[in-house]
Amino acid sequence: MELRKLKQLIQLVQHSGVTELDISVGGEQVRIRRGCSATLAPALYPAMATAINAPQLTAVAPAAPAPSVAEQHTQCAPMPGSCYLAPAPGAAAFVQPGQQVQAGDTLCIIEAMKLMNAIEAERSGTLRAILVADGDAVQTGTPLFRID
């Protein structure tokens, strides 16, 4: 795929309500995700940097097979607001680092426009890190938790 077409697709995703675009043409595959990079294996970073920094790039290689080791997943804020790690002031936090979580478990609450929005785990795994403090202001795409 030509770099010009790839840039147009990126702009389309940035200026629309679409959060993810996946296109396959022939043997080439392109996935564009808006916001937080949720699950990217560290081994893919050099390939991405090469593709972005290479102005002569005219095609995107087919997607690499998934790594055999578990990838870390960074769960990001789906909306701007104030992030609360506990259901009430002085209460125990919803989750602690090292705890096993299941997809759908409440991880925190984001207060947006006076509404309390429960933020649920997108996947099951071990909570490795909490990346925000209780009461922090977050924006859409702010990394909140690392789960693997």
Query: Would you list the DSSP string of 45-97?
Result: HHHHHHHHH-TT----PPPPPPPSSPPPEEEE-SS-EEEESSSSTTSPPS--T
Q: Where in the chain is the domain with CATH 2.40.50.100?
A: 73-147
Measured distance CA(38)–CA(91) in Å, rounded? 29
- Does 125 score more than 70 pLDDT? yes
Q: Which CATH architecture has domain 73-147?
A: Beta Barrel (2.40)
Number of other CB atoms surrounding residue 9 within 10 Å:
14
Residue 11 pLDDT grade (very low, low, confident, very high; cuts 50, 70, 90): confident
What pLDDT is stored for residue 48 in this prediction? 45
The CA distances from residue 50 to 40, 45, 73, in Å, are 16, 9, 23
SS3 24: strand
CB 148 within 8 A of CB 98: no
Question: What is the predicted pLDDT for the residue at 19?
Answer: 67
Q: What mean pLDDT is reported for the chain?
A: 76
Looking at the predicted structure, is the pLDDT value of residue 97 above 90?
Answer: yes
Identify the DSSP state of 121. Answer: P
Predicted local distance difference test score (pLDDT) of residue 21: 73
Which comes out higher in pLDDT, residue 130 or 9?
130
Kindly report the number of other CB atoms within 10 A of residue 88's CB atom: 8
d(CA 125, CA 69): 13
